[in-house]
A and B are shown apart, each in its own frame.
Chain A
Amino acid sequence: MRTKETLEPILSFLPFSLWANVSILFAGVLVVCLLIYLIIKLFGRMKKSGEPSILIVGSMNTGKSCLFYQLNEGEFVETQRSMKEQEATFAIHEKFLKDKDPKAQKKKYHFIDWPGSPSLRLRLSDFYPITEKIVFVVDGTELDDDTFELFYKLLSAQKLKEKKIPFLVVLNKSDLIDSPDVKPMEKLFNRELSQLNKTYASTSFTKEQEDETENEITQLLDESEEFSLEKLQNTISFVKSSTKNGQIDEIIDFILN
């Protein structure tokens, strides 16, 4: 009853009975909160969400962590197999930006270095929503099935397809003698991926269960037509590099543009 006494004068400006007034006030507060929330959400969406994220992926022992440290510190750092992903936001080391315009020198990027081990690959899909570009590092001298499987998996990820994320295939370790050139590698990729394409036909398995769409690998192109990387929605380019010697200029160009 005390509450009633205290509330009555406050809510006297509303025409209806006391409890109706209370409920109207309550509803009013809720509506206002909802409006504020929606505004913030919209506002947030319009604004650009911070620094662009660049995902560095690839099979094991290809030089991803090495590339990560080159971009950050400008020198070769000895690395072991990564057990965990590394994320950091930094501007590319000035060593590589000497000829570029000063704006580029200040721009920061969010780099994500993902371990190459297959066991750690499942959570990679969590980073798809924020990824803007993908640097796919390959060891030209030691290609294995895993490389192509991973590449196919990335290409077929829904979220990456939608955003038409550009891929850069880096043929690392170009300082080694038997490192191949870009053209033969393009052909090899085409061949291997077309093989994989056949194995991921939609009739492969019954789809009764709820599939995790992030990790599901779907067929990229119809089997009837000839497979070609150019037919895909994402742009794929091939470059050579040597993270050991710091020859990563083409990678820098890809990142900056």
Chain B
Amino acid sequence: MLDKFLIFSFGGRVIFSHKFDCEIEGEPVNELISNILIEDRTGSVKEYVHENYKMKWKIESEFELVFVVVYQRMLQLFYLDKLLDLLQENFLNFAREQINKHENPNGFALSPSFFSLNKLKLPDFRPHFLEILEQVEEYDKRQKVNTKMRTFEKTDKYKNSVTAVKDQDGIGKKNKKKKKKKNQSDQDEGSDSEESNSESNSPSLTKKKKISKAAKRIKKLQERKKSGGRSPQRNLRRKGRGGRGGRGLRGSKSKKKIDEKPKKKIKKPMKWDNTLSKSERRGLDQGEKLDQMQKKELSKQNSQKLIGDKELNLDFSASEGEDDEDYWEISSEEEKSFDEEEEEEEEEEKEKGGFKVNLDSLKKKKKSNETKKKKGKVANFFKGLKGNKELDEETLEPILEKFRDHLISRNVDSEIAQKISDSVLLGLKGKQIGTFQRVVKIVREKIEEVLIKILTPKRVVNILRDIGISKKKKEPYSIVFVGVNGTGKSTSLAKTCYWLLQNNFTVLIAACDTFRSGAVDQLRVHSNVLGVPLFEWGYGKPPANIAQKAIAHAKSNNIDVVLIDTAGRMQDNELQMRALANLIELNKPNFVAFVGEALVGNIGKDQLIKFNQGISDYSKTNKTQLINGIFLTKFDTIDDKVGAALSMTYSSGIPIVFLGVGQQYVDLKKMDVKMISKTLIKN
């Protein structure tokens, strides 16, 4: 069922490869290397898909080896993680054995160069490999055979149906919660051993979500009836406290708890002053990492006393179905498991109420981690004195925490900061360092490396050269400026025009923003000052046609470059995105520039991704022009909070071409990757 298995070194040497029966088309492993491994996106992604192949990998950073298994995209093999782990262990032991068998074992030491330079010719690993593969496949088969079919009561369909909601039976509820918990953890692992059908994960997940939504609504109505017409705003606030969507769901589960236990008739008010007992205080403290059993116990006690808390849904730490991770930690895996609708809902909720609570708990977490770090420092000091230190999660985690917070303070998207720190952790785990090397320094260097890799464009963008090529072909080179409202498209256009004039190209400005009052007039002023012709057709006319005519005009008059200004639009507005996609499809511009503000935070990433998606989704053909580069404007207003640059590049892979650093024509600079990465790291 597998197609290929490879072990190769960071430097590129293939140490062991096994090809199964069929030939591999193309170079999927090279794509994996380029897109994931080189950019150190290993923390956020567990598998990579390229054309018809899916790949899973394991990195051994100590000896700079990568173990990759390639298989058909359609398949769902759940034993691969285990297989990779076993193979890694086995291969290293195999290498060690060979060294020991050799006549001069002290001449060789296991190190990265041992493998990459093939210092000792290892015999064929194939028999070992095939043996392990066989064992793992057998084990997997046995696992599958043992599973029985579920009864109807155990399925999600029943659980989410109205009958289950009505059913006040405590046993059914408990099982349901256990199932949900198990399903959550199964989703996280990527295995789904209970489903015998070969449905892929996402359709079944969306089904569950849809059913649970219906069930949620039914429950709401029922509860409202019971409680005697609580205001919907109360319910909204309830949702708001829920923070992310997943919590909202669980919040509703805790609501069920209230319905379950009819004993609670007294509603005790929330205590805010010093008269709180220790347990009560702990019950209020959401950020402390408590043992899960303790949490549950406390919640059971608190449920008797502090019903008020429950109604406000503050008591999240106690709700069942909670994963092992800290409540407030933004886990990328959970993000993936919800479909887009839920994400929008989450954002709304976050903006409404959940945010304040989040920040407080983050601070509390910091404190607890600081104390941990102190202990870690002392232990590390003594460890360091001993000899060669091996980096592990304990030592790395507090340092990475600090860097994460630092990056977030520099306006990097929190998710992305998490992903970067995950990859750095994976990259440094198990690495041996010398006695006097400070771990912080190593982590800092690695992070800087990762940042540089992410910010450096994968393809060199040289607009002037491309214009030169178009000029030879006697075609005008067209650049379209797109973006949301108010990011600086018209100003960037004017700056670009000035730059092109300095490089002795002839320019034509096309006023395709026919919506905003004064847009055409603004461009007229620029064209007068710069001395370039303006192609305009007034207000209200369709922009796509104007652009078409402008390009035709440029061609007939031998003008080198056409700069097309478009109206600002929101990334969620379908109509406007369609219009944009139409404009791009009709005119096939050479360069689509997304103009984004450096001031914006997480939203900038969202804008960019949705614009890109919109342009490709709403066009009629398959292969459409996507965004080629980013103009990051208002860069002079942010001092050192340059994180937006990182967020945008990381999430989309689109390079940043120019930075706008002022409102004059000359304030246009090329992206300096080293400067930005240094600014991000600087304390």
Give the contacts of B505-522 with A (CB-CB under 8 A): none
Evaluate contact between B30 and A118: CB separation under 8 angstroms.
no
Q: Which of A80-88, A166-174, A247-255 binds B?
A: A80-88
- Tell me which of A81, A195, A196, A205 contacts B34 (CB under 8 A): A81
Chain B residues with CB under 8 A of A115: 12, 38
Q: How far is the CA of A206 from the CA of B666 in the complex (A)?
A: 7
Q: Closest residue to B59 on the A side, CB-wise?
A: A83
Evaluate contact between B458 and A84: CB separation under 8 angstroms.
no
Distance (whole angstroms) from the CB of B89 to the closest CB of chain A: 22
Q: Is A203 an interface residue (CB 8 A)?
A: yes
Evaluate contact between B464 and A146: CB separation under 8 angstroms.
no
Chain B residues with CB under 8 A of A79: 8, 12-14
Q: Given A145-B460, A145-B465, A209 and B12 touching (CB < 8 A)?
A: no
- Tell me which of B13, B34, B666 contacts A65 (CB under 8 A): B13
Q: How far is the CA of A160 from the CA of B13 in the complex (A)?
A: 29
Q: Is A121 an interface residue (CB 8 A)?
A: yes
Q: How far is the CA of A82 from the CA of B457 in the complex (A)?
A: 17
Chain B residues with CB under 8 A of A96: none
Evaluate contact between B17 and A121: CB separation under 8 angstroms.
no
Evaluate contact between A121 and B456: CB separation under 8 angstroms.
yes
Give the contacts of B77-125 with A (CB-CB under 8 A): 113, 116-118
| 21 residue pairs bridging A and B, Cβ less than 8 Å apart | A77-B118, A78-B13, A78-B14, A79-B8, A79-B12, A80-B12, A83-B10, A83-B66, A84-B64, A86-B11, A118-B458, A118-B460, A119-B39, A119-B456, A122-B456, A146-B460, A149-B462, A198-B468, A199-B462, A205-B499, A209-B675
The digit string for B134-172, where 1 denotes a CB below 8 A from any CB of A, is 000000000000000000000000000000000000000
Evaluate contact between B117 and A72: CB separation under 8 angstroms.
yes
Distance (whole angstroms) from the CB of B496 to the closest CB of chain A: 12
Known contacts A65-B12, A80-B14, A198-B468, then 13 further A-B pairs from the complex at CB < 8 Å, ordered by chain A residue: A77-B118, A80-B6, A80-B12, A80-B29, A81-B12, A82-B12, A83-B37, A118-B458, A119-B458, A203-B503, A205-B669, A209-B672, A212-B674
Evaluate contact between A86 and B118: CB separation under 8 angstroms.
no
> How many A residues have CB within 8 A of the partner chain?
41
Distance (whole angstroms) from the CB of A44 to the closest CB of chain B: 24
Q: Given A81-B33, A122-B452, A146-B459, A117 and B38 touching (CB < 8 A)?
A: yes
Q: How far is the CA of A6 from the CA of B54 in the complex (A)?
A: 79
Q: How far is the CA of A122 from the CA of B666 in the complex (A)?
A: 27
Give the contacts of A44-101 with B (CB-CB under 8 A): 60-61, 65, 69, 72-73, 77-86, 88
Evaluate contact between A65 and B11: CB separation under 8 angstroms.
yes
Evaluate contact between A88 and B672: CB separation under 8 angstroms.
no
Q: Given A73-B118, A86-B12, A199-B464, A80 and B39 touching (CB < 8 A)?
A: no
Q: Is B599 an interface residue (CB 8 A)?
A: no
Chain B residues with CB under 8 A of A65: 11-13
Question: Which 3 pairs of residues, A with B, have the shortest CB-CB distance?
Answer: A199-B464, A82-B12, A86-B11
Q: Closest residue to B14 on the A side, CB-wise?
A: A78
Q: Closest residue to A113 on the B side, CB-wise?
A: B11
Q: How far is the CA of A53 from the CA of B261 in the complex (A)?
A: 78
Give the contacts of A119-158 with B (CB-CB under 8 A): 119-123, 145-146, 149
The digit string for B661-683, where 1 denotes a CB below 8 A from any CB of A, is 00000101110111100000000
Q: How far is the CA of A206 from the CA of B670 in the complex (A)?
A: 10
Q: Closest residue to B454 on the A side, CB-wise?
A: A119
Q: Is B502 an interface residue (CB 8 A)?
A: yes
Chain A residues with CB under 8 A of B14: 77-80
Q: How far is the CA of A123 from the CA of B673 in the complex (A)?
A: 11
Q: Is A201 an interface residue (CB 8 A)?
A: yes
A residues with a Cβ closer than 8 A to B are 60-61, 65, 69, 72-73, 77-86, 88, 113, 115, 117-123, 145-146, 149, 195-196, 198-199, 201, 203-206, 209, 212, 215
- Best-buried of A78, A88, A204 by chain B (most CB within 10 Å): A78
Distance (whole angstroms) from the CB of B491 to the closest CB of chain A: 16
Chain B residues with CB under 8 A of A86: 11-12, 116
Q: Is the interface of B mostly helix, strand, loop or mixed?
A: mixed
Evaluate contact between A85 and B17: CB separation under 8 angstroms.
no
Q: How far is the CA of A72 from the CA of B460 in the complex (A)?
A: 32
Q: Is B253 an interface residue (CB 8 A)?
A: no
Distance (whole angstroms) from the CB of B102 to the closest CB of chain A: 18
Evaluate contact between A145 and B117: CB separation under 8 angstroms.
no
Evaluate contact between A195 and B465: CB separation under 8 angstroms.
yes
Distance (whole angstroms) from the CB of A59 to the closest CB of chain B: 10
The digit string for B450-479, where 1 denotes a CB below 8 A from any CB of A, is 001110111110101100110000000000
Q: Given A72-B117, A119-B39, A84 and B468 touching (CB < 8 A)?
A: no
Evaluate contact between B674 and A80: CB separation under 8 angstroms.
no
The digit string for B307-349, where 1 denotes a CB below 8 A from any CB of A, is 0000000000000000000000000000000000000000000
Q: Closest residue to A199 on the B side, CB-wise?
A: B464
Q: How far is the CA of A196 from the CA of B464 in the complex (A)?
A: 8
Q: Given A65-B12, A82-B10, A215-B674, A117 and B458 touching (CB < 8 A)?
A: yes
Evaluate contact between A81 and B468: CB separation under 8 angstroms.
no
Evaluate contact between B13 and A69: CB separation under 8 angstroms.
yes
Q: How far is the CA of A145 from the CA of B117 in the complex (A)?
A: 32
Distance (whole angstroms) from the CB of B662 to the closest CB of chain A: 10
Chain A residues with CB under 8 A of B29: 80-81
Chain B residues with CB under 8 A of A78: 13-14, 17
Q: Closest residue to B456 on the A side, CB-wise?
A: A119
Evaluate contact between B465 and A122: CB separation under 8 angstroms.
no
Chain B residues with CB under 8 A of A122: 452, 456, 673-674
Evaluate contact between B12 and A201: CB separation under 8 angstroms.
no
Chain B residues with CB under 8 A of A215: 674
- Best-buried of A79, A83, A145, A212 by chain B (most CB within 10 Å): A83
Q: How far is the CA of A86 from the CA of B116 in the complex (A)?
A: 8
Chain A residues with CB under 8 A of B459: 118, 145-146
Evaluate contact between B34 and A117: CB separation under 8 angstroms.
yes
Q: How far is the CA of A73 from the CA of B120 in the complex (A)?
A: 12
Evaluate contact between A80 and B453: CB separation under 8 angstroms.
no
Chain B residues with CB under 8 A of A69: 13
The digit string for B558-599, where 1 denotes a CB below 8 A from any CB of A, is 000000000000000000000000000000000000000000
Evaluate contact between A206 and B669: CB separation under 8 angstroms.
yes
Q: How far is the CA of A80 from the CA of B66 in the complex (A)?
A: 11
Q: Given A117-B38, A206-B669, A83 and B118 touching (CB < 8 A)?
A: no
Q: How far is the CA of A65 from the CA of B673 in the complex (A)?
A: 27
Q: Given A84-B64, A119-B456, A201 and B503 touching (CB < 8 A)?
A: yes
Evaluate contact between A120 and B38: CB separation under 8 angstroms.
yes
Q: Closest residue to A90 on the B side, CB-wise?
A: B117
Distance (whole angstroms) from the CB of A191 to the closest CB of chain B: 11
Distance (whole angstroms) from the CB of A197 to the closest CB of chain B: 10
Distance (whole angstroms) from the CB of A226 to the closest CB of chain B: 16
Q: Closest residue to B457 on the A side, CB-wise?
A: A118
Q: How far is the CA of A32 from the CA of B455 in the complex (A)?
A: 48
Q: Given A117-B458, A119-B458, A146-B460, A83 and B12 touching (CB < 8 A)?
A: yes
Distance (whole angstroms) from the CB of A85 to the closest CB of chain B: 7
Distance (whole angstroms) from the CB of B316 to the closest CB of chain A: 40
Chain B residues with CB under 8 A of A84: 10-11, 64
